[in-house]
Structure 1
Amino acid sequence: SFQIKINLTAPTLIFPGIEAHGPYSIVGKTDTSLIYLNNKDEKRVMYLVEIVKFCDATLEKVLNEVKLRIFQNKFWKKPPLLGELDLDIMKAYEREITKRLRHHKQIRRWESFVNGRPILPTMKHM
């Protein structure tokens, strides 16, 4: 079997001044970015165009936090936590991350079908 090696460039993880921003806040530099906490609770930067470079676990963690921020902004009776522009950007992150995770699941199902063996333990071979 022939496999193609894909060499992706590493995502930009930090930039100067990241300490000044809270986790899961929107930062507008040249591109819109989101600051998230990695598994070591370090602040990292996720650009919207670089979502494809992150693993599923990171995307799921960030997606849960983004959904929580949107929910808190929508239903809490306190003053809004996010401005209108920040809320739109959070929704864009939610949409793009969901699309990417759905694509990964579809690719796994397709690979399972083509290879004739289940990749996920819940899938049964017919």
Structure 2
Amino acid sequence: MEHQAVKKKERSSVTGTKAFSGKVVDNSVLSKEEFIEKVRHSNEACKNGDFQLAIDLYTETLQVDPQNCILYSNRSAAFLKIQQYEKSLDDAIKARLLNPKWPKVGFYISLFSLETAKKLNI
């Protein structure tokens, strides 16, 4: 039996970042303008140190655009700030899978490794 390569169809996410299709983007939840406003609000929450609010808002936007590596990356950073290291790593890995060239993800994975090493006294 021959193995056939399956090509993934490339598409743009709601915010214009490149992603691979596979999950349905639910545009009925928020309009594009509402989506962008929610992303802005989540970024502001991070800047103001309200990381739990930022996580909640990033989670809502990811329901609309589950292929957005930037949202996973930002939520990963927020999880790092509240010391939810495993959740941070999960999101960093999702972001890396969606966009292997996204630079911030490697940093978050490194921070996770550092925190794990500290806990293990390595």
Tell me if both proteins adopt one fold, taking TM over 0.5 as the criterion: no
Structure with higher RCO (Cα < 8 A, 6+ apart): 2
Q: Which entry has the higher C-alpha Rg, 1 or 2?
A: 1
Relative to the length of structure 1, the TM-score reads: 0.31
Larger % of strand: which? 1
Larger % of helix: which? 2
